[in-house]
Amino acid sequence: MSDTVVNLEHVSIFHNKNMVLNDVNFKVNRGDFVYLIGKTGSGKSSIMRLLYGDLPLKQGEASVAGFNLKTMKNKEIPVMRRKLGIIFQDFQLLTDRTAKDNLTFYLRATGWDDKAKMEERVSEVLNKVNLSSKGFKMPQELSGGEQQRLVIARALLNDPDLILADEPTGNLDPETSNEIMNLLFDVSSNKRAVVMVTHNYNLIDKFPSRVVKVDQGKLSELGGEVQAWAAASPL
């Protein structure tokens, strides 16, 4: 099994006919935790959309979780997404069913059909995110932090190779944000890759890891100069 989960080589990303990013080279291995930072409109979301198959690859070479994005057919996109866990800032939970039923619905949607195995897997991930006693609650009965932990549980259901997290702490208070970050770092320690979009540079200081900047249509690695770049580049 390859250690490389994401590999982009000389990739250009387009919205319709407009080039958003040019000549992108980006590699992520198992166990990597990568922050993706940049000003609003710089192209961070476009990279994420490319990685989960929502934008087509038109130029360059790219593979995600063992799938070649250049040769992948549309019917293969749902299969690839089972290898991914996607965490949204706005949760995107089903408000008409319980936390447990949200997870069961997702398993059915991704091809599970054994009721006993589904119940076992749901219990495992709820326990992983410390929600084992909250499975009966509706999403709106959970706090913001609990809802985000439920979204992380959903992302873990299919034991993904890659977690894509888009501003997962954006709507949370500092203490709850710290809890979510600890959980995400724990996820990456289990040989999963995590790519996280964030504007919160204080979190990067508190939870240091690899940082990739998206700026002026390019990607570049940042070392210890994250705060300096942030101060010089208001969002």
Which pLDDT score is estimated for 33?
97
**Residue 13 near residue 55, CB atoms below 8 Å:** yes
Side-chain half-sphere exposure of 129, counting CA atoms within 13 A: 29
pLDDT at position 233 over 80? no
Per-residue pLDDT tens digits for 180-226 = 999 999 999 988 999 999 999 999 999 999 999 999 989 999 875 55
pLDDT at position 228 over 80? no
Kindly state the average pLDDT of the residues 155-167.
Answer: 94
pLDDT at position 170 over 90? no
The bridge status of strand 210-215 relative to strand 33-37 is parallel
pTM of the model: 0.91
Q: What is residue 233's DSSP assignment?
A: S
Which pLDDT score is estimated for 1?
56
Kindly state the average pLDDT of the residues 38-60.
Answer: 92
For residue 82, report the phi and psi dihedrals to the nearest 5 degrees: -70, -20
Kindly state the average pLDDT of the residues 15-30.
Answer: 91
- Percent of the chain residues topping a pLDDT of 70: 94
**Residue 43 near residue 217, CB atoms below 8 Å:** yes
Which residues, at least 6 apart from 189, have a Cβ–Cβ distance to it below 8 Å? Answer: 31
Model confidence at 24, in pLDDT bands (50, 70, 90)? very high
Model confidence at 229, in pLDDT bands (50, 70, 90)? low
Which residues, at least 6 apart from 35, have a Cβ–Cβ distance to it below 8 Å? Answer: 196, 197, 198, 204, 209, 210, 211, 212
Q: How far apart are CA 235 and CA 217, in angstroms?
A: 16
> What is the set of domains in the chain, with CATH numbers?
4-229 (3.40.50.300)
Which pLDDT score is estimated for 230?
54
The bridge status of strand 33-37 relative to strand 193-197 is parallel
